[in-house]
Amino acid sequence: MGVTYWFDAAPTGDPYPMSVRFTGRRTSGPDGSVGGDTFDLVQTIPRVTPGTGRIAVTARVPKVAPGEWSVTATPVVAATDPSAASPPPRTSLPSGAATGSTGFMPVVNIRAPGVRLAAWPSLVVLGFLLGVVVQLLAASARGLPTGRLLAVSIVASLLGLVGAKVYYLLTHRTEKPDPLTAGMSIQGFVVVAISVLLLGSWWAGLSIGQVLDVSAPGLLLGQAIGRLGCFFGGCCVGRPTASRWGVWSSDRRVGVRRIPVQLLESSVAWVIAAATVLAVLWIDPAVDGMLFLAGFGTYTFARQLLFPLRAVPRKTTHGTVVVLLVSGLVVAAAVGTVVLGG
């Protein structure tokens, strides 16, 4: 079952830890029998940012007996951070009590204030469909056979989903996620989907460079729409912030005003997608494939700049600098080839 406690962050001061103790007692079973089972757990937010306003912390209790439960949430005093300039505020937060029933755990795991059920898969599918439409329209404008391209693109996308799942599992091994319910990583999708697209285009007798160019706008459009799914689905969240430009959102555990990094990345992808569409329609590069490299190189560069705004820090020391350097050089080379070739 899942339970949520709401509270207001301190208006001013230093960041401080916050803990909430959830205790529950089963009052009845599905057959109307009297309960008696209990649970007791503590959820801690290591760093509450003052001035962020209303905050929701959600706890999930696995493997509890089914039925109706009575739950109490009580704020507890967290340990003071010795490095803080001032102690955490001693404001008195009230306890909360509610009753509710248990639910299907895979659904409970993704339910939280600010999270919309099925938002991520729905928007990813929408992004895929619109991306394919844009790809085929661009291919038709370039005189490419759309039937063969559609077949190759569908196979590439399906295998790309497998790559996205495998990449996520490989990069989150310490979390030991369930392979069926674990998330996906866009890096795995791009690597596998583009590789299959290249091989499939060669096998189908299509110009690989032209296929890449007409596919770039659709891929970027799909990413722009998919990032909206991340925002409403509670993944890839930004850091908490007290800024007026922050947007209230949740990572499925803590709902708070955050830097809207998913919306920023979506906006970047929209702009680059629009630019690549115009480029495909108006520019005939001397070397095919350069429009793809310019578009995806620009997106990769911008994505690296946004990574530090995420709530979960990256586990790399020099990776960001290396990717920024490589993607910047790729963009410069691709744009230079297009301009000089034109």
Cα distances (angstroms) measured from residue 218 to each of 2, 5, 67, 150: 38, 41, 47, 12
Both 228 and 326 in one domain: the answer is yes
- Is residue 152 domain-resident? no
Both 127 and 38 in one domain: the answer is no
Give this prediction's pTM. 0.88
Q: What is the pLDDT along the chain (342 residues), one digit of tens a residue?
A: 899 999 999 999 999 999 999 999 998 888 777 767 899 999 999 999 999 999 999 999 988 888 899 999 999 865 444 544 444 444 578 899 999 899 888 889 888 999 998 898 899 999 999 999 999 999 999 999 999 999 999 999 999 989 888 888 887 766 666 665 566 788 888 899 999 999 999 999 999 999 999 999 999 999 999 999 999 999 889 999 999 999 999 999 999 999 999 999 999 999 999 999 999 999 988 899 999 999 999 999 999 999 999 998 776 667 788 999 999 999 999 999 988 875
How many domains does the chain contain in total? 2
Both 123 and 51 in one domain: the answer is no
Dihedral angle sign, alpha carbons of residues 333, 335, 339, 342: positive
- Is residue 194 domain-resident? no
Domain that holds residue 30: 2-108
- Structure-block tokens of residue 105: 């755990």
> Residue written as tokens 């000089």?
340
Both 46 and 17 in one domain: the answer is yes
Q: State residue 89's pLDDT score.
A: 47
Both 101 and 123 in one domain: the answer is no
Question: Read out DSSP for 31-46?
Answer: TS-B---EEEEEEEEE
Query: At which of 56, 87, 108 does a domain end?
Result: 108
Both 21 and 140 in one domain: the answer is no
Both 49 and 138 in one domain: the answer is no
